[in-house]
Amino acid sequence: MDAVSISQLAPLPLPESSTGRNPSFLTDVCWVSKDDIVSQQTAPANILVGCVRKEGICHWDIETGQLIGDWSLSSQLPETLHGFRSIAWNEANKVIAVAAGRGICLVDCRQGDRVAGEFHGKGLAINSVACSRDGRYMVTGGQDAGVVIWSFRMPQEMNVGIGHNASVQSVDFNCDSQTFWSSSHDKTARCWRAFS
């Protein structure tokens, strides 16, 4: 698919009632961690899942802000999987995919234990990870400007996309689980077919 330059996208007009107003918090609840929260995602049952820079995962109750889980994974990780950058919830497999260093580790969302099997990339550090809605695939974007499709069945790269000219900062699957988006420091967003 052709790339769509972010600079070519027209901004949506603001409703008249919001012009000149500052954004406001939707709730008085604040979710607090002992370390920098580098990525977050909502999960079923009103849970907010966040990963912290020092190899930990926190779960908060969205409505109350109460911390209900704080899992440290640093002792469970090999050297190549340090420095958490992004998380993605996989409802179908009941795991959280964590982009760390040059790979991905999977964490059981019920116990906080690392699931056997690691996904090791061939490029530079992975910046972002997303799971397909059907739970079968992951996509990552990395500092090497590439995007990679992974299967949950086997921990290896299935498909590599080259098209960005700078580090890929964000990836996300469409609802069809067959296409996904990436955005990069090269000032472009691209839509990809997962399998051609």
Q: Give residue-wise pLDDT tens across range 100-157.
A: 888 888 888 777 777 866 787 777 889 999 999 888 999 999 999 999 998 887 777 8
- Tell me: pLDDT of 163 over 70: yes
What is the pLDDT confidence band of residue 6, given thresholds at 50, 70 and 90? very low
Determine contact, residues 144/123, Cβ cutoff 8 Å.
Answer: yes
pTM of the model: 0.77
41 has pLDDT over 90: no
In 3D, which of 46, 54, 88 has the Cα closest to residue 70?
A: 54
**Range 86-94 average pLDDT:** 85
Angstrom distance (rounded) from CA 11 to CA 60: 33
pLDDT digits 0-9 by tens, 18-39: 445 555 555 566 667 777 777 7
Residue 151 near residue 136 (C-beta atoms within 8 A): yes
Tokens of 121: 């990339």
* Residue 10, pLDDT above cutoff 50: no
DSSP H or E segment with residue 47: strand 47-52
Would you mind telling me the total number of residues written for the chain in this entry?
196
> How many angstroms separate the CA atoms of 32 and 185, rounded?
29
Give the pLDDT score at 139: 93
- The encoded tokens of residue 85 equal 């950058």
Amino acid found at 150:
W
Q: What is the mean pLDDT of the chain?
A: 78
What pLDDT shows up at residue 183? 92
